Amino acid sequence: MGYDPKSCKAEEFINHEEILESLEYAQKNKGNKELIEGILDKANRAKGLTHREAAVLLECDDKELTDRMFKLAEDLKKRFYGNRIVMFAPLYLSNYCINGCVYCPYHAKNKTIARKKLTQDEIRREVIALQDMGHKRLALEAGEDPVNNPIEYILECINTIYSIKHKNGAIRRVNVNIAATTVENYRKLKEAGIGTYILFQETYNKDSYEKLHPTGPKKDYAYHTEAMDRAMEGGIDDVGLGVLYGLSTYKYELVGILMHAEHLEARFGVGPHTISVPRLRPADDIDPADFPEALSDEIFQKIVAIIRLAVPYTGMIVSTRESQKTREKVLHLGISQISGASSTSVGGYADRELGVKEEVTSAQFDVDDDRTLDEVVNWLLKMGYIPSFCTACYREGRTGDRFMSLCKSGQIANCCQPNALMTLKEYLEDYASDDTTKAGEALIEKEVKKIPRDRTREIVGERLVKIAEGERDFRF
């Protein structure tokens, strides 16, 4: 490969020929047990994998080796993330959109979807509904429309969200998933105090990309692919990647996304903060059956496991696009964040509280997990996970390479585990049902004992008492 990720642009580096050659190399080595075992040994040292090595694992269908791969993903997940799962919810600001994405019901030609844009008052209602559930971390979502949703509107919304204090609630971290934009706008987002900037590539296959995005600003493959470079130039050091599985061939996508991660690491010294694994869902005028590349649950699990091995320090997100059952199949393989009680409608949270039924939907897609946040938290607790509402890293300045180096040395766990337990305790005090409180208290008692440093364990014990007495927002 003649491209140097340090000096070349993302679009050049993530090139078609290298992806095809990697897939060919993987095909040739399908039965090469020695090579595959070597790759698994490397993964076990938490050194990460190259996109070629990941392609080889993806091609492997030997039962024994695949079992080992899954076991290893589980071990790495435990090593770096323990049994914590960070919770968040999406907040849809506006579904006005001038793009023509053929898989998304926001596409400009869709005349059946109800177009909505939240006013600042409506944002307040949405945020209070989210706070009343117990959410502390949001991902803002919006279509691309420079007239209806310009950057000034997004910035105003962020400002409003951070300013709302209600009972014990406060949104402490706002991540943003909006269309690719300029360095200047990324700088403004950074100044507004966003956490992660998330942008899904949708597909790394340029031909497919151009067919799937026939009109609108998003049709420019290079501009979209280089968005994260501009975000980092604009000072955002936590970025979240993703492809929408189901649009194009998954093998191509996995190699593409790992090359993107390699590019960011080489060029900026820090890889992606998160990788999301969304799959295409039915939506207003979208039928996934019209797209031939649907993924089975088995392949989906394998993708999650391989991402965990390839980028052990990158968080991995699974949304309510997946059912409870599917989420159960992938959580232990490397997922570190999940959404809960999500609405993909503009204004959907306040409407839900009021029992308003939409006559014409404004939803982006149908969710497959529609449980309440308390039900999701309860389910996690009963499987032995710690639902975490922690937002401390970014508020303590642990972002970008600082976060990554703490992660690589394993030190991050000294903060994450106590923070997870303290924010779970807040949730139990303020929002949980009796059954969830019972399960949560039992888990906290068990987990506090496992905090290795005596002094930290003591401090956490003291703070848990203070939280029960009404104090909030302790963090390491």
Do residues 300 and 39 touch, judged by C-beta distance below 8 A? no
The 368-397 site mask, x for binding ligand SAM (CB under 6 A), equals ------------------------------
Query: Quick one: which of 123, 129, 231, 244 contacts ligand SAM (CB under 6 A)?
Result: 244
Distances, alpha carbon 468 to alpha carbons 288, 386, 426, 430, 472, in Å: 47, 18, 8, 10, 9
The one segment of 8-16, 108-116, 120-128, 177-185 that binds ligand SAM by CB under 6 A: 177-185
Rg of the Cα trace of the chain?
21
Q: Which is nearer to ligand SAM, 46 or 299 (CB)?
A: 299
Query: Quick one: which of 23, 60, 178, 421 contacts ligand SAM (CB under 6 A)?
Result: 178
The 179-218 site mask, x for binding ligand SAM (CB under 6 A), equals x-------------------xx-x---------------x
Q: Which is nearer to ligand SAM, 29 or 320 (CB)?
A: 320
The reply to whether 117 sits near ligand SAM by the rule CB under 6 A is no
The reply to whether 262 sits near ligand SAM by the rule CB under 6 A is no
The one segment of 232-240, 274-282, 430-438, 444-452 that binds ligand SAM by CB under 6 A: 274-282
Do residues 216 and 98 touch, judged by C-beta distance below 8 A? yes
Query: Quick one: which of 82, 195, 216, 278 contacts ligand SAM (CB under 6 A)?
Result: 278
Q: Which is nearer to ligand SAM, 162 or 200 (CB)?
A: 200
The reply to whether 223 sits near ligand SAM by the rule CB under 6 A is no
- Closest alpha carbon to 381 in 354, 329, 421: 421
Q: Which is nearer to ligand SAM, 104 or 467 (CB)?
A: 104
The reply to whether 270 sits near ligand SAM by the rule CB under 6 A is no
> How many CB atoms are located within 10 Å of the residue 332 CB?
19
Query: Quick one: which of 13, 70, 88, 103 contacts ligand SAM (CB under 6 A)?
Result: 103
Q: Which is nearer to ligand SAM, 19 or 139 (CB)?
A: 139
Pairing of the two strands 84-94 and 169-170: unpaired
Do residues 113 and 105 touch, judged by C-beta distance below 8 A? yes
Q: Which is nearer to ligand SAM, 56 or 179 (CB)?
A: 179
Query: Quick one: which of 89, 98, 286, 406 contacts ligand SAM (CB under 6 A)?
Result: 286
The reply to whether 127 sits near ligand SAM by the rule CB under 6 A is no
The one segment of 33-41, 281-289, 404-412, 449-457 that binds ligand SAM by CB under 6 A: 281-289
The reply to whether 363 sits near ligand SAM by the rule CB under 6 A is no
Distances, alpha carbon 401 to alpha carbons 216, 397, 407, in Å: 34, 11, 9
**Could you say which residues in the range 413-472 bind ligand SAM, by CB under 6 A?**
none
User: For the chain, what is the largest distance between any 2 Cα atoms, rounded to a whole number of angstroms?
Assistant: 63
Minimum distance from residue 101 beta carbon to ligand SAM (Å): 7
Q: Which is nearer to ligand SAM, 141 or 447 (CB)?
A: 141
Q: Distance (Å, rounded) from C-alpha 399 to C-alpha 236?
A: 9
Q: Which is nearer to ligand SAM, 70 or 88 (CB)?
A: 88
Buried b (16+ CB within 10 A) or exposed e, 260-299: bbbbbbebbebbbbbbbbbbbbebbebebeebebebeeee
Do residues 189 and 234 touch, judged by C-beta distance below 8 A? yes
Minimum distance from residue 157 beta carbon to ligand SAM (Å): 14
Minimum distance from residue 283 beta carbon to ligand SAM (Å): 4
The reply to whether 234 sits near ligand SAM by the rule CB under 6 A is no
Query: Quick one: which of 280, 307, 350, 422 contacts ligand SAM (CB under 6 A)?
Result: 280
The one segment of 116-124, 176-184, 411-419, 463-471 that binds ligand SAM by CB under 6 A: 176-184
**Could you say which residues in the range 14-33 bind ligand SAM, by CB under 6 A?**
none
Phi-psi region of 423 (alpha: psi -120 to 50; beta: other; left: phi over 0): alpha
**Could you say which residues in the range 287-346 bind ligand SAM, by CB under 6 A?**
321
Minimum distance from residue 226 beta carbon to ligand SAM (Å): 14
Query: Quick one: which of 281, 327, 398, 425 contacts ligand SAM (CB under 6 A)?
Result: 281
**Count of residues interacting with ligand SAM (CB under 6 A):** 21
Question: Applying CB under 6 A, which residues contact ligand SAM?
Answer: 103-104, 141, 143-144, 177-179, 199-200, 202, 218, 244, 278, 280-281, 283, 286, 321, 364-365
